[in-house]
Amino acid sequence: MKSIQVNVPGGPENLQLADIPVPQAGPGQALVRIAASGVNFIDIYFRTGLYKADLPIALGSEAAGTVEAVGEGVSEVAPGDRVAYAMARGSYAEYAVVPAAQLVKIPAHVDFHTAAAAMLQGMTAHYLTQSTYPLKAGDTCLVHAAAGGAGGLIVQMAKNIGARVLGTVSTAEKARIAREAGADEVILYTEQEFDVEARRLTGGRGVDVVYDSVGKTTFEKSLNALRPRGTLALFGQSSGSVPPIDPAILAKGSLFLTRPGLPHYLLTREELLWRAGDVLSAVDAGRLRLRIDRIYPLADAASAHRDLESRKTAGKLLLAIG
């Protein structure tokens, strides 16, 4: 089968298309024939070596496809089931072996591309708005990269809850996309200081929560944008890792800082089925709209990484495989 592998951590040019044997499902596992794989910043973190993994590094942490075979003791899925998953590396490939407990069945009216696009970013938006800082009607949140895949879903979920949404973007076109997703106010951080604008737009109070996937370049101003006892949910670092800080910096507003990750919000199968079920049901019902920006063939995964790193995309990037 065809698979993308990284033999030496580094740039997109280190993504190599390899021929490797089709894996076999062991106890508790399922073999999935991949139809589409999501492309995410976590893949870049593994490719560059920011996140450590044994060589050769298998990339891709979400996909949708069809169960080909199951191992001993599997009851969650059966051959022929249409399934999707997240947080199991190796989806940049024609086949992947996945723990059966991580697979969810796809609603009948949801296609593979849509399901693959929904899983990682959809469940990330879900845990951020439902659990990390549970939004309620009347809250105000600041969403960075509001025209991106995760950002756009956070915007929509926040609006569905009844929160006020301030979004940051880099261009006028991305501002248009963020407004289409439902952002009440859009701040072009290339032209305005977003922390100053956030305070102006809240009458000097500050926002209840900042959902920050950018990291290094936004961290301090994200803290400045918060109200007293506000929360900064730093869930990514697309601009680089935040340098070490003195926790005393939080004392200026008795602020809360958390660095959440999806695996810790999927600790049980019941939690997975809740989050994935909410996301896929909302997509199926039209309450959550996915924006798929570009679709690439598997062999062109390097171009997908370059485009994602450039931060010139607006929405989800996918690899079409099956």
From first to last of the 322 residues of the chain, give the pLDDT tens digit. Answer: 999 999 999 999 999 999 999 999 999 999 999 999 999 989 999 999 989 999 999 999 999 999 999 999 999 999 999 999 999 999 999 999 999 999 999 999 999 999 999 999 999 999 999 999 999 999 999 999 999 889 999 999 999 999 999 999 999 999 999 999 999 999 999 999 999 999 999 999 999 999 999 999 999 999 999 999 999 999 998 888 899 999 999 999 999 999 999 999 999 999 999 999 999 999 999 999 998 989 999 999 999 999 999 877 777 999 999 7
Residues facing residue 150 across a β-bridge: none
- Rg from Cα positions in the chain: 20
Residue 307 burial by Cβ neighbours in a 10 Å radius (0-12, 13-18, 19+): middle
Q: Which class for 305: exposed (0-12), middle (13-18), buried (19 or more C-beta within 10 A)?
A: buried
Amino acid at 298: L
Q: What architecture does CATH give domain 2-120+266-320?
A: Alpha-Beta Complex (3.90)
Report the C-alpha gap between 63 and 212 in whole angstroms. Answer: 24
Distance CA 25, CA 6 (A): 23
pTM score of the predicted model = 0.91
Q: Which one, of 115, 176, 164, lies nearest residue 136 by Cα? A: 164
2-6 sheet: strands from edge to edge? 15-19, 2-6, 57-58
- Rounded to whole angstroms, the Cα distance separating 212 from 228 reads 18
CA 280 to mean position of chain CA atoms? 15
**31 phi and psi angles, rounded to 5 deg:** -90, 120
User: Which sequence spans correspond to the domains of the chain?
Assistant: 2-120+266-320, 136-259
Helix then strand count (H, E) for the chain reads: 8, 16
CA distances from residue 311 to 255, 298, 306 in whole angstroms, order as listed: 29, 20, 9
Give SS3 for 80: coil
Reply yes or no on domain 136-259 having CATH 1.20.140.160. no
Q: State the burial class of residue 8 (Cβ atoms within 10 Å of its Cβ: 0-12, 13-18, 19+).
A: exposed
Contact 69, 95 (CB under 8 A): no
CA distance 311 to 313: 6
Angle between helices 41-48 and 301-310 (to 10 degrees): 110
